Amino acid sequence: MKIASQDAGKSRRARRSEPVILFSVAHQMFAVSADSVQEIRSTDSMAGAANEIAQPLLAKVHHTIERAHRKYYVVNACTHFNLPVTRPTLVLILRQLRVAVLVDKIERMAEINAVYALPRAFIGDERRWYRGLAHVADNVIPVIEPTGFLTREEFLALDRVTKAAESQREMEGAVQA
Partner 1 sequence: MTGAENADRSSFVLLQVGERRFALPSEIVDELAPPVRLHTFPHTSALVAGVIVRRGHIVPVYDVAPTLLGKESPAHRFYLIAQRTFDKSGEASAIPLNGECELATAEVQPPGEGRPAYISGTLEIGEETVELLNFEALVTHQSDEPADASHPGTQS
Residue 112 Cβ vs partner 1, minimum distance, rounded to whole Å:
13
Is 23 or 30 the residue whose CB approaches partner 1 more closely?
30
Residue 125 Cβ vs partner 1, minimum distance, rounded to whole Å:
5
Residue 123 Cβ vs partner 1, minimum distance, rounded to whole Å:
5
Is 51 or 147 the residue whose CB approaches partner 1 more closely?
147
Answer for which of 21, 22, 23, 30 binds partner 1 (CB under 8 A) is: 30
Torsion angle in degrees (nearest 10) through CA of 25, 27, 30, 31: 100
Residue 139 Cβ vs partner 1, minimum distance, rounded to whole Å:
7
Torsion angle in degrees (nearest 10) through CA of 92, 97, 98, 103: -20
Is 126 or 159 the residue whose CB approaches partner 1 more closely?
126
Q: Give the β-pairing of 105-112 and 99-103.
A: unpaired
Residues 115-144 that bind partner 1 (CB under 8 A): 116, 119-126, 129, 133, 135, 138-142
Q: Give the β-pairing of 70-76 and 99-103.
A: parallel
**123 vs 142: CA distance, rounded Å:** 15
DSSP conformation letters of 60-116:
TEEEEEEETTEEEEEEEHHHHTTPPP----EEEEESSSSEEEEESEEEEEEEES--B
> What single-letter DSSP state applies at residue 35?
G
Residues 152-171 that bind partner 1 (CB under 8 A): none
Cα–Cα distances in Å, from 79 out to 6, 42, 54, 67, 157? Answer: 46, 19, 18, 23, 18
Residues 78-97 that bind partner 1 (CB under 8 A): 81-83
Residue 116 Cβ vs partner 1, minimum distance, rounded to whole Å:
5
Is 46 or 102 the residue whose CB approaches partner 1 more closely?
102
Residues 51-80 that bind partner 1 (CB under 8 A): none
The residues of the shown chain that bind partner 1, judged by CB under 8 A, are 28, 30, 81-83, 116, 119-126, 129, 133, 135, 138-142
